């Protein structure tokens, strides 16, 4: 009996020791960062140029026949007029009529080039929401602190910050050691198949690959939550895949005065309820593990212990993260019913009911595995689960290594420009133009160097999209500093 108690005591001590060692180890990854010396820029002129860009309604529409390409032509003219030094110094090509590709020749041709990306198109405005905008969405209104308008954050803020940085460096007589390409797509909001894809095909035809690619993505926020009281820079090292499935219930229909025990609407509603009550399983390995490990050192001891010992607390961690939409989207393939259609008359039981359900696929899942899991959850032979006509499935993007020198370089530059910021690798819930470049570099990162304020992220694709002038200035300074740092002999 005594030996048994001793064994149990030894086991408990050993178990607790493992938990504590893992917790301490995960909290010891910090490096010393030197604050950057940032260049002074003429922010008022930069704001004026951004404002002009926001006035041009470069709207993408799913039916490309309805796109008013004259606005994209006008946007090109604006860039040429406002940044003559850039167009004179860099090689500039128009890709598939409306996208732009710049090449800034480097001095050292032995180094792989880098690629900076942004897109010039914006999403349409919901006409019913116009009266809720503080300023008209295409007025480019600016006040003492803010520039307002559709595209301010997504993604003309980054586009103009890149142009401002290159123009500034050219005026200083700077020449990069490493060739720098800049790609501005014109149809990112509808998939990039006519813009970014053509640019990627051009690079493939020329045999050009990249040291790293940097496109739009997570910004810098102080509202990540989870006990982190610092600013967080979210750098996506992958992005979710995509599939929309159609669920169809069929029956004989009939008169509403003599309904059966279930109707097609009830059958389909039950299937949707099952999907919402049974979310797809979390993926806490791979990029999610990297994300959690980056966050853990900023947490208190107990939550850090949970992060550090996912083998034991995985279920608890999933429960915590799943309590809010952002956390839930971080760790699993999300399920979102978006369209429900059935019936033609109030006294007729429909013979068919349909629903569309959209899934954003986390690395570790695939479109095929999602279809299989949906069929198992619905578990009803009366429900057909299929891809709709014209639908497509897209795998999650390959995961770029957050331990690579390229990621570390980017991380250090972010921390040097934004002191005290925690850099967190993760997975972008939405798609970007980088989906077309996954064969051109193992190091693809999605990050916008823009500090956001309360509610700013909800304004993207929504009402009162805007960008802070101070945040815009810091974004310009970030790109200047990043490009200058590429010329350093030792990056890390």
Element spanning 120, H or E: none
Identify which of 383, 460, 388 has the alpha carbon closest to the alpha carbon of residue 429: 460
Residue linked to tokens 């980056």: 294
> Terminus-to-terminus CA distance in the chain, angstroms?
58
CB 397, CB 366: distance < 8 Å: no
Within 8 A by CB and 6+ apart from 348, the residues are: 253, 254, 255, 256
Catalytic residue among 164, 187, 188, 216: 188
CB 113, CB 51: distance < 8 Å: no
CA quadruple 63, 66, 69, 74: dihedral sign: negative
Identify which of 485, 472, 346 has the alpha carbon closest to the alpha carbon of residue 413: 485
Separation between Cα atoms, residue 271 and residue 248, nearest integer Å:
10
What does DSSP assign to residue 129?
G
CB 359, CB 244: distance < 8 Å: yes
- Chain center to CA of 470: 22
| Tokens describing residue 13 | 């001590």
What is the DSSP pairing of strand 444-451 with strand 213-221?
parallel
Which string of b and e fits 48-71 if b means at least 16 CB within 10 Å? Answer: ebbbbbbbbbbbbeeeeeebeeeb
Helix axes 156-171, 469-485, angle to 10 degrees: 50
- Decide if 188 is catalytic: yes
- Decide if 395 is catalytic: no
Element spanning 248, H or E: strand 241-250
Identify which of 282, 290, 486 has the alpha carbon closest to the alpha carbon of residue 400: 290
* Enzyme catalytic residues: 121, 188
């Amino acid at each position: 009996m005594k030996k048994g108690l001793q064994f149990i005591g030894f086991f408990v001590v050993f178990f607790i020791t493992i938990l504590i060692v893992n917790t301490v180890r995960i909290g010891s990854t910090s490096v010393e960062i030197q604050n950057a010396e940032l260049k002074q820029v003429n922010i008022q002129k930069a704001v004026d140029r951004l404002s002009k860009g926001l006035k041009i309604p470069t709207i993408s529409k799913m039916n490309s026949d309805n796109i008013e390409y004259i606005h994209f032509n006008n946007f090109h003219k604006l860039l040429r007029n406002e940044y003559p030094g850039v167009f004179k110094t860099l090689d500039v090509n128009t890709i598939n009529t409306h996208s732009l590709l710049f090449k800034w020749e480097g001095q050292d041709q032995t180094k792989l080039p880098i690629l900076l990306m942004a897109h010039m198109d914006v999403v349409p405005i919901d006409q019913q929401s116009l009266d809720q905008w503080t300023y008209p969405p295409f007025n480019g209104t600016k006040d003492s602190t803010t520039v307002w308008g559709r595209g301010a954050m997504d993604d003309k803020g980054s586009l103009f910050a890149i142009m401002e940085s290159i123009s500034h460096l050219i005026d200083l007589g700077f020449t990069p050691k490493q060739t720098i390409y800049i790609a501005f797509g014109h149809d990112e909001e509808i998939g990039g198949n006519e813009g970014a894809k053509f640019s990627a095909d051009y690079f493939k035809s020329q045999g050009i690959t990249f040291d790293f690619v940097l496109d739009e993505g997570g910004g810098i926020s102080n509202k990540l939550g989870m006990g982190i009281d610092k600013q967080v820079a979210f750098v996506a090292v992958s992005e979710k895949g995509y599939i929309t499935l159609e669920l169809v219930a069929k029956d004989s229909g009939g008169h509403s005065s003599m309904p059966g025990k279930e109707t097609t609407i009830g059958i389909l509603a039950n299937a949707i309820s099952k999907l919402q009550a049974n979310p797809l399983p979390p993926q806490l390995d791979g990029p999610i593990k990297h994300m959690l490990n980056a966050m853990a050192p900023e947490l208190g001891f107990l939550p850090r212990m949970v992060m550090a010992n996912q083998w034991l607390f995985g279920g608890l961690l999933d429960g915590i993260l799943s309590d809010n939409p952002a956390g839930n989207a971080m760790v699993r393939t999300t399920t979102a019913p978006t369209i429900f259609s059935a019936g033609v008359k109030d006294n007729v039981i429909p013979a068919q009911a349909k629903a569309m359900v959209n899934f954003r696929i986390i690395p570790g899942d695939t479109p095929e595995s999602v279809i299989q899991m949906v069929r198992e959850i619905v578990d009803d032979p009366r429900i057909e689960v299929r891809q709709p006509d014209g639908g497509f499935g897209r795998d999650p993007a390959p995961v770029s290594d957050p331990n690579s020198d390229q990621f570390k370089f980017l991380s250090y530059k972010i921390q040097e420009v934004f002191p005290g910021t925690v850099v967190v690798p993760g997975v972008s819930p939405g798609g970007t133009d980088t989906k077309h470049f996954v064969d051109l570099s193992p190091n693809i990162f999605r990050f916008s160097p823009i500090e956001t304020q309360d509610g700013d992220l909800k304004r993207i694709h929504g009402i009162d999209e805007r960008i802070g002038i101070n945040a815009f200035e810091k974004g310009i300074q970030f790109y200047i500093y990043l490009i200058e740092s590429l010329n350093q002999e030792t990056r890390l």
